[in-house]
Amino acid sequence: NAGVTQTPKFQVLKTGQSMTLQCAQDMNHNSMYWYRQDPGMGLRLIYYSASEGTTDKGEVPNGYNVSRLNKREFSLRLESAAPSQTSVYFCASSNSYEQYFGPGTRLTVT
C-alpha cells in the first residue's frame, strides 16, 4: 500500500518549457487535490477533483491545468513555466475524514 505517490521528486525547467506532474493514489479515494507550498504562505490549493471526470479551480489556478485521468490518477500540467511557479507541489487524496499527502515535487523554473 503505497498511499499517494508523486513523480518526479525534483525538476528544473527553463522559462517557457512545459511539464506534467504525476500523482497516483491506491486508497480508492474519490477526492484529489493539488497544492503548492511557498515559504511563509502555507499550502495553497491549485485545483481539486471531487470524482473521476470532474475538476475545479482552487485559490491559485492561473498557469496550470489538470486532468483526472481515472479514479487513481490526477496530473498537473504547466504549459509555459514561469519563475513564479518555482515551488514545492503536493498532491493529496481524501476520504470523508482525512487528507493524505504525497512526498512532493520540488520545481525550480529558471
**Footprint of other proteins on this chain (CB under 8 A)?**
4, 31, 33, 40-43, 45, 48, 50, 90, 92, 94-99, 101-104
Measured from the CB of residue 79, what is the shortest distance to other proteins in angstroms? 25
Cα 48 to Cα 52: distance, rounded to the nearest angstrom: 11
Return the H-helix or E-strand segment holding 22: strand 19-25
Measured from the CB of residue 10, what is the shortest distance to other proteins in angstroms? 11
Measured from the CB of residue 16, what is the shortest distance to other proteins in angstroms? 29
